[in-house]
Amino acid sequence: MAKVITLGFLGCGNIGGGVYHLLTDMHGEILKRENIDIRIKSALVKSIAEARSDVPKDIMTEHADEVLKDPDIDIICEFMGGEQPAASFMQQALENGKTVVTANKMALALNWHRLQAAAVGHHAGLYYEASVGGVIPVIRSLTVSLNADEIDQVMGIVNGTTNYILTQMSQQGRSYTDVLAEAQQLGLAEPNPTADVEGYDAAYKLSILSSIAFHTRVTYAKIHREGITGITPDDIAYGREMGYTLKLLAIGKRSGNSIEVRVHPTFLPNEHPLARVDGSLNAIYIHGKYCQDMMLQGRGAGDKPTASAICGDILYAACHMDTPTVPSFDNTAETDPAISFTDNWNCRYFVRLDAADTPGVLGSVASAFSARSISIASLLQRPSKEKGRAQIILITHEANEQAVQETISSLNAELVDVKSMIRVEC
């Protein structure tokens, strides 16, 4: 006799539709493999009349309680997006003892402590593989496969929209605004692209990823965040000339009880595995004491790949209804006070200056860096578009963030205009 598992969806747009189709397509196969009969009973949408997916309308409802309070439903699958009401709906479901599967990084990153407490307190499961990196099985890799290791670094391309934009800018020398407009036309960027291009989306994902990797709650508020809107084709072209590729990276590093978490445009050496991850692909590079270097790569978005990860969670939850699993760390509202966060990290820096083309300017720039013990690893000088000016592009050896910021501020603004400062990882 097959085990019947009944699902209720909160949201049935792009992802809800993808999950519906995968489960319909794979129903017989899942029954054969796992002896589990998965049924979808209801799906909450804002408006049935304007429903955007081709899921049968007879399972759709506009009333959340018809999903949340239905005693037949075993697993609530949340695909609404946004923080609220998604987070409070998930909390209600968990408090009613229902297992929750979600793809919502924002609601999870901001409310994880409440959701986990509700899950533990009511013996329910909480699963969120698709919240980071779409189909890439990074959550399960960290919580299960690498659970005995000590992870000291996670570094990811976790936003497909910005990776697409930077790839097009790099390959075609086009401007940010030009490529963004094209990405919007292709449906690869939202009409309001702020969450992606300003790094918010990547920061929510980094909060989840680094919490799991470092076994402590890394709240969203601790993450330093910068987007890609100020990046120019010149930055990318000079970086390439010096052997580097530009990516928007979500970076988490732990050393003892000190953690740094940051999202910003980053130059990587061309030979770094993440430098070759192009277009809308996502990838997460992990370093640990025992596993050493590894990288996971795949589709970070799209209904089919995301549905694959979500349905993996649904099936896992269905197989573990009596023994739901949650992460091992103490999932508190604030980070453990024993952990310190630094915004004064060490890395290498790419600095592009537009300078007066007069004797002594290059020397004064070099002196300003050396006054703070920052040594320059490579340097380019190129004619500027403006007569009497020159572009000076330098990459430092490893240096301290604060020292580099101070050096840049100390440069004589009458002679030197600082065009960009981009961090470099190796």
Ligand X SMILES: NC(=O)c1ccc[n+]([C@@H]2O[C@H](COP(=O)([O-])OP(=O)(O)OC[C@H]3O[C@@H](n4cnc5c(N)ncnc54)[C@H](OP(=O)(O)O)[C@@H]3O)[C@@H](O)[C@H]2O)c1
Task: Please state the closest distance from residue 249 (CB atom) to ligand X, in A.
Answer: 19
Q: ∠ CA(250), CA(256), CA(257), 5° rounding?
A: 80
CB nearer to ligand X: give 51 or 268.
Answer: 51
Which residues of the chain form contacts with ligand X (CB under 6 A)? 11-16, 44-47, 50-52, 79-81, 85, 103-104, 130, 134, 301-302, 306
Q: Which of 205, 222, 247, 253 is the catalytic position?
A: 205
CB nearer to ligand X: give 208 or 213.
Answer: 208
CB nearer to ligand X: give 16 or 288.
Answer: 16
Closest CA to 9 of 82, 89, 83, 84: 89
On the CB side of 96, CA atoms within 13 Å amount to 19
**Rounded to the nearest 5°, which phi and psi values hold at 135?**
-80, -15
Task: Please state the closest distance from residue 312 (CB atom) to ligand X, in A.
Answer: 13
State how far the Cα of 301 lies from the Cα of 281, in Å rounded to an integer.
8
- Token digits of residue 44: 């909450």
Task: Please state the closest distance from residue 146 (CB atom) to ligand X, in A.
Answer: 22
CB nearer to ligand X: give 317 or 411.
Answer: 317
> 231-234 long-range contacts, Cβ below 8 Å, gap at least 24?
231/166, 231/169, 231/176, 231/265, 231/420, 231/422, 232/175, 232/176, 232/419, 232/420, 233/169, 233/173, 233/174, 233/175, 234/352, 234/391, 234/419
Task: Please state the closest distance from residue 417 (CB atom) to ligand X, in A.
Answer: 39
Task: Please state the closest distance from residue 252 (CB atom) to ligand X, in A.
Answer: 20
CB 345: neighbour CB atoms within 10 A?
16
| 41 labelled catalytic | no
Q: What is the 3-state secondary structure (H, E, C) of 117-182?
A: HHHHHCCCCEECHHHCCCCCCHHHHHHHHCCCCCEEEEEEECCHHHHHHHHHHHHHCCCHHHHHHH
Task: Please state the closest distance from residue 131 (CB atom) to ligand X, in A.
Answer: 7
Tokens 């595995």 belong to residue = 273
Closest CA to 77 of 23, 146, 30: 23
CB nearer to ligand X: give 42 or 104.
Answer: 104
CB nearer to ligand X: give 55 or 403.
Answer: 55
> Which positions are catalytic?
205
